[in-house]
Amino acid sequence: MVCAVYRPPIQTQARVTADLAELEQQLQYILTRHSGPIVIAGDININMKTDSAAAEQFRQLLRGYSLQQHTTEPTFRASGSIIDVIITNQSVDRAGVVHCDYSPHNWSRVLLSVSDQRPQPCTIATRCWSRFDADEANRQLTEVDWTPVYASDSPEEQWDYLLAVTRPILDILLPERRVRVRNPVAPPVTDATKELMAQRRAALRDGHIDTYKQLNRQVRSAIRRDTREELERRVDRAGPSGLWRSVQPIVAPKRSDRSTPAADADELNRFFVEVGPRTARQVTAAGPELPTRLPRVSTGAFQVTPICPDDLRRVVGRMRSSKDDA
């Protein structure tokens, strides 16, 4: 896990303590949920080259969570201070700084070894709804005895009975099948685009910033062009029936799974029923005074008068059509 951090250059003791307390809360959140390598890098605006109170407080925070700070050379050239840090929870093979031509800060870098962690293959259960026979499903549902649903007053029992009678019907009409979820791949690029990417890396390595920016725009344009051409080939190869399957990863990517709230039907019902009373209890008489709304002033230019169908017909007949307006 790679984390970026930035702390504003405010050196008061109260602000440093508050910022480090916030960082500690985030460290606790990460360390309790992630057991692999952790890299924290950024500008903390605390000079780690000195023995100031802020620097010692930061070192004590790192020692408490068995973290190591690997930047030992100055990163801010104007003052020769170490305010840019790279922190890990494991040892590194090499660490140092590199001169940066377009920033007063030097590059900070480390070399660390990580294990080759490949994602485990994932399969999901799905149904082919395009082959769903709605008429046959309606016929089988009409033959179901729905008396237990109407006889029960419990929403949970009604829902359980509904699932018990509808799932067998779906298993017959739409049998489940297991589909392996493929891991996302890199964007399709041609050899010409790869050559542009190599030139961009060379320009960045040699410090040619203007050339790098120009090549970066060309690379992004080339990737978009290659992706568009690859999408056209997929659509032509799949045909009209596979159009949505081809464009779905681009126009409607799958979202990460969200945890379902652990609430039954009765709990949801109580929540929505109590919204009004709970809001009324929160609005107290000691709240802010609402602004006084001035009364409306009528000029008498507009008056509402009764009208009969004949008058309405004459008014409509005198209206010009849209052709006349044109």
- CA of 184: how far to CAs of 137, 188, 248, in Å? 36, 12, 13
pLDDT tens profile 137-184: 899 999 999 999 889 888 889 999 999 999 999 899 888 888 776 655
Contacts of 128 by beta carbon, 8 Å cutoff, 6+ apart: 174, 177
Q: Name the percent of the chain lying above pLDDT 90.
A: 28
- Domains of the chain: which residue ranges? 2-111, 122-181, 191-244
Tell me the whole-structure pTM to 2 decimals.
0.41
User: What is the SS3 assignment for 28-74?
Assistant: HHHHCCCCCCCEEEEECCCCCCCCCHHHHHHHHHHHHCCCEECCCCC
Superfamily designation of domain 2-111: Endonuclease/exonuclease/phosphatase (3.60.10.10)
Task: Read off the pLDDT of each residue in 191-208 and give the average, rounded to a whole number.
Answer: 88
Q: Name the percent of the chain lying above pLDDT 70.
A: 82
The highest-confidence range among 6-15, 180-189, 308-317, by mean pLDDT, is 6-15
The encoded tokens of residue 301 equal 């230019």
The encoded tokens of residue 172 equal 């017959």
CA atoms within 13 A on the CB side of 163: 5
Q: Environment class of residue 181 by beta-carbon count within 10 Å: exposed (0-12), middle (13-18) or buried (19+)?
A: exposed
Q: Which amino acid does the sequence have at 318?
A: R
- In this predicted model, which residue has the larger pLDDT, 123 or 149? 149
Nearest alpha carbon to residue 257 among 122, 120, 117, 116: 122
